[in-house]
Amino acid sequence: MSVKDRVIAIIAEQAVLEPSDVTMDSTLEDLGIDSLGLVESIFAIEEAFDITVPFNANAPDQSDFDISSVGSIIAGIEKLISEQVS
Amino acid sequence: MKRVVITGAGTINALGRNVSETLEAMREGRCGISDLEFRDVERLAIRIGGQIKGYHPEEVFNRQQMVLYDRFTQFALLAAREAVAQSGLEFHGELADRAGVVLGTSGGGLITQDENYRSVYEEGKNRVHPFVVPKLMNNAAASHVSMEMNLRGPTFTVATACASSNHAMGLAFQMVRSGASTVMVTGGSESMLCFGGVKAWEGLRVMSKDACRPFSANRNGMVQGEGAGVYVFEDYEHARDRGAEILAEVVGFAMTSDASDIVMPSKQGAARAITGALRDGGIAAEEVGYINAHGTGTAANDKTECAAVADALGAQADRVMISSTKAMHGHCIGGTGAIELLACIMALRDGIVAPTIGYEEPDAECALDVVPNVAREVQVSTVLSNAFAFGGLNAVLALRRAS
């Protein structure tokens, strides 16, 4: 499974939706994921890819990690994975 | 209904080993937050806290005591000794039977749990010290205070996360006011600064890596502290008849539940607790000169708290001073309200309002007088102390200057 598919699966599980309902331009709000759900999703992503996501719930805009859409989250994770490999 | 006064205060926290050292640090706006020191700290992302440094319990407690006293119990005992000594009370006979202890804590003997889980899980040991259970239990601190001081009346522990000690002091107030007890030793104690304790908090992603900056637009989370605050709450007539020095009068208390979310605070729940405390104490909003804020330095708490104060106090919200001392001693969780009550007593007795240090940028959502960075000399007659806990549990105390 690709990074994209695995992230979508994690987000879909959190939102109690089918992966097909999660699109790249969906926002977490669209999917009904609140702040606790977001923190839980990031934990699941960190565990799945063995990475550390720089996210502070107090300052999501200032965190070096864009959570504005599913697409931006996937892009951020792909970047973190590549940085970790290199 | 009895009047309830405070006749003794004690503390130990990152700012000082007693009340006078702590108040001096609060007046000077000193920061007690520093690099955490304990085993495995290098495996944490969050490495700062209001840790009590240079503390050697074996210099204060003997071997038999050390095997029974978790750090949170030690802190409670040290603070209780200071408070009871200041009150001048000795508990014998009928007074001992009419005096009790109610203390707040959230984690109880968390360090004892952490050390012993490590021992059996990580180190594979199959045997633990026989006193692990009496050392880690949440009521250990209250029980040891009761034993050491001979307090034989109602004694128990309250655990409502960050509001624990305000709930504890509120219950102690109600018990003395109703006549159920003549004296209550009350406050709270916490000591969660260990690998497992901080690791658990890290998971929520609400902790700051650099500083606690309540109400500042660039705040980025809470910083944990440790310590205890303990007070002697006494029936006013009993205190007056024995000529005791009165530090302040406790006049009102209210508690509410948001009944909405396990971590996100609610403006309505907090505002109802504030208005409830005013009503309970027969206090007009215009009388409130200072509020010791919950002020955790998280995005969610500080804006919700300011909105709640604005709702509850109306026009007076633009005149009241509100500061969070957590930027100095850290968030001492179940002991925090008790340590922060010292700032309330200082405002009433000394006319000095503790500052919110670390304040760098105004936030339009926290547009109250937060006493930024520098303490202020102002006479106030009535103050509030806010505590709003995870779980949506709110507890607000109201105090007046001794008269």
Residue B129 is part of a domain; what is its CATH number?
3.40.47.10
pLDDT of the residue at B244: 98
Is B219 in the same domain as B336?
no
pLDDT per residue as tens digits for the range A44-86: 999 999 999 988 888 776 677 899 999 999 999 999 999 876 6
Please judge whether A36 and B262 are an interchain contact, meaning their C-beta atoms are less than 8 angstroms apart.
yes
For residue B129, indicate whether it is catalytic: no
pLDDT per residue as tens digits for the range B1-21: 999 999 999 999 999 999 999
CATH of residue A52 = 1.10.1200.10
Nearest-by-CA chain A residue for B263: A36
For residue B294, indicate whether it is catalytic: yes
Is B85 in the same domain as B217?
yes
Q: Is residue B247 part of a domain?
A: no
Residues of chain A in Cβ contact (below 8 Å) with chain B: 34-36, 39, 42-43, 52, 55-59, 62
Q: Which of B201, B221, B241 is the last residue of a domain?
A: B241
The catalytic position among B31, B144, B162, B344 is: B162
Q: Is residue B85 part of a domain?
A: yes
Is B285 in the same domain as B231?
no
| Cα gap B326→A13, rounded to integer Å | 38
The catalytic position among B144, B238, B329, B331 is: B331
pLDDT per residue as tens digits for the range A7-40: 999 999 999 999 999 999 999 999 999 888 999 9
Mutation test of the interface with chain A: which of B205, B208, B264, choosing the one with the most A Cβ atoms within 10 A? B205
Q: Is residue B352 part of a domain?
A: yes
Number of domains in chain B: 2
| Cα gap B163→B333, rounded to integer Å | 7
Residues of chain B with Cβ-Cβ distance to A57 below 8 Å are: 204-206, 221, 298-299
Number of domains in chain A: 1
Query: Which residue numbers in chain B have pLDDT < 70?
Result: none
Cα distances (Å, whole numbers) of residue B31 to B14, B58, B305, B386: 9, 26, 23, 21
Q: Which of B193, B215, B241 is the last residue of a domain?
A: B241
pLDDT per residue as tens digits for the range B312-352: 999 999 999 999 999 999 999 999 999 999 999 999 999 99
Residues of chain A with Cβ-Cβ distance to B297 below 8 Å are: 58
Residues of chain A with Cβ-Cβ distance to B300 below 8 Å are: 35, 58
Task: Report ipTM for this prediction.
Answer: 0.79
Enumerate residues 6+ apart whose C-beta is below 8 A from A60: A67
Domain assignment of residue A16, given as a range: 3-85
Is B235 in the same domain as B272?
no
pLDDT per residue as tens digits for the range B53-65: 999 999 999 999 9
Residues of chain B with Cβ-Cβ distance to A56 below 8 Å are: 205-206, 208, 220-221
Q: Is residue B225 part of a domain?
A: yes
Nearest neighbour of B298 by CB, restricted to A36, A43, A58: A58
Q: Is residue B154 part of a domain?
A: yes
Establish, for the pair of chains A and B, how many residue pairs have beta carbons separated by less than 8 Å: 38
| Cα gap B180→B269, rounded to integer Å | 29
Write the DSSP symbol of residue B118: I
Is B169 in the same domain as B20?
yes
Beta bridge partners of B12: B228
Is B83 in the same domain as B223?
yes
Cα distances (Å, whole numbers) of residue B148 to A29, B76, B144, B161: 55, 11, 6, 26
Q: Which of B241, B265, B292 is the last residue of a domain?
A: B241
Is B197 in the same domain as B310?
no
pLDDT of the residue at A86: 62
Domain assignment of residue B351, given as a range: 252-400
Residues of chain A with Cβ-Cβ distance to B298 below 8 Å are: 57-58
